[in-house]
Amino acid sequence: MIRINQIKVMPKHTQEDILKKAARILRIAPDKIQEMQIVKKSIDARKKPDIYIVYTVDVKTASQDKILSACRGKAGQVQAVVKKEYQFPALGTKPLNHRPIIVGTGPAGLFCGYMLARQGYRPILLERGREAGQRLQDVERFWKEGVLMADSNVQCGEGGAGTFSDRKLNTLVKDPFGRNREVLEILVQAGAPADILYEAKPHIGTDILMDVVAHLRRQILAWGGEVHFETKVTDLLTAQNRVTGIRTEDGRLMESDVVILAICHSARDTFYMLKERQIPMEAKAFAVGLRMEHPRRLIDDIQYGGSRQANLPAANYKVTAKTKDGRGVYSFCMCPGGYVVNASSEPGRTAINGMSYSGRNGTNSNSAMIVTVTPKDYGGSGPLAGIDFQRRLEERAYEIGSGAVPVERYGAYRQAVLARQKEKTDNLMSNTEENTLLSEKNNPSKIAAAFPQFAPAVKGKWCMAPVHDILPDDLNAALVEGIDLIGQSMRGFADENAYVCGVESRTSSPVRILRDGTGQSAVAGLYPCGEGAGYAGGITSAAMDGILIAEKVASLYQPVIE
């Protein structure tokens, strides 16, 4: 195959347009191309309002060597490519006495279970929450009526927390073994749109995802696996520093010599149980912040340089800034045309997330604006200090919103944060200088001025509240400084009429369950896995880690013979 990079076409284009451009680059007639496959698709909006769609494609021709020789001067754009298919390792020979148990059915647990089931291991998956369809009903009831189910909510249940966060699939994890591609292909086989195989920022959408997750579960069952819902694991059984099984909340004992902990990062009771069982863990850095909302048309205007064209999707963005104190402020889980959602999982504590449906056609766009925190920020010690830190923030968010999602205009939030900083030091800018920073450096765009009273788009009850009282002062100050810096290049982003909502506290796990090169804990047979265990930072990376742990188990053990 020949790979061609940087094929630029107009937003309104056809497959034939891509084919003709590819042929022109190769200096051959279009009918000489026998096959064409899109490898990557992205948007180039650097010279707005001139927008281009940029493709990388692989093509098959009858005269590959001759064409490559003629294109020697285009080495950066044209090259030969040999596709490397994902290969599951050869199965091990060590006998298993019992079928593997997987705790959790988020991306890590589902993909670990899928791969092991495909190889004949007939894994048993245990999920504290409910299956996807019932879980959706529970979540929607919570948003409408405020009735929170402890183990069936935005954080817990089949599909994991990513089910209600747009199911974005981009990852920065290096992938020399092809696990990323394998994840995407499995999702497509399960009903996800085929364009996730090549979109630069692939997503599925919460509405489509329900069926995809259910399909994965049905396939695991068809291969001989089991999936048990509303089955909370409350204890880990060990003997002679080796795992022997688990105990469930209803008192059942399940024996196994392999237990895979693919728990979600909100399974806080499980972390405390592991601490009691002296499973080695450590506190790790993660990030907290607020979710920021703008009119979707404003973000389209900023990113595309004018009104969105019919063939362009709702605009995305990824922004970063570094404060004068060295803290990194950045966007996370950006949801074009999406919603802020109440993602709470514990009574008396409010946590939020963002999600989009597949069409991404909501009136607003939102993103978490977050800042990295480390164990020194937690105000405590021990491996679970980060969980205690999260809980304090969530309790404050619940308090100021009286259980509803607290929302504040960015202008009011910013003014309160700067005023508090001014009280602490005489070196801060005067009020006049503050106003200059907002009005001159972050001059709102014309379209922003047209939406001074746009409404928040929140799933669940919300109220106007002092969001500036949730985070510690130093984190609030870092967010204001970072957002203002971003606003200097994205005019309108730091508009005073934007909204900030709180609190975004579950970006990733604040805990890492330690494992060695074999994937096992210091307790043999215990395999920490995925985002909750501290080895992933998103849906795709969690699924990839699930595949990795499946490989580790399978390369050591042979399937149980019954």
CA distance 537 to 450: 37
Amino acid at 46: R
pLDDT computed for residue 164 by the predictor: 78
Q: Count other C-beta atoms under 10 Å from residue 402's C-beta.
A: 11
Q: Please give the structure tokens belonging to residue 269.
A: 């009771």
pLDDT computed for residue 551 by the predictor: 98
CA distance 98 to 85: 31
Instruction: Sort 365 into a burial class: Cβ within 10 Å, 0-12 / 13-18 / 19+.
Output: buried
pLDDT computed for residue 336 by the predictor: 94
Phi, psi of 433 (to 5 degrees): -65, -35
pTM: 0.92
Instruction: Sort 412 into a burial class: Cβ within 10 Å, 0-12 / 13-18 / 19+.
Output: middle
| E strand spans, 11-76 | 33-47, 50-61
In sequence order, the 6+-apart residues with CB closer than 8 A to the CB of 335 are 165, 166, 354, 355, 356, 360, 365, 366, 367
pLDDT computed for residue 200 by the predictor: 87
For each of the chain's 562 residues, which pLDDT tens digit applies? 999 999 999 999 999 999 999 999 999 999 999 999 999 999 999 888 889 999 999 999 998 999 999 888 887 899 999 888 899 999 999 999 999 999 999 999 999 999 999 999 999 999 999 999 999 999 999 999 999 999 999 999 999 887 776 556 766 667 889 999 999 999 999 999 999 999 988 888 778 888 999 999 999 999 999 999 999 999 999 999 999 999 999 999 999 999 999 999 999 999 999 999 999 999 999 999 999 999 999 999 999 987 566 688 999 999 999 999 999 999 999 999 999 999 999 999 999 999 988 888 999 999 999 999 999 999 989 999 999 999 999 999 999 999 999 999 999 999 999 999 988 775 544 444 444 344 344 444 554 555 667 999 999 999 999 999 999 999 999 999 999 999 999 989 999 999 999 999 999 999 999 999 999 999 999 999 999 999 998 889 999 999 999 999 999 999 987 6
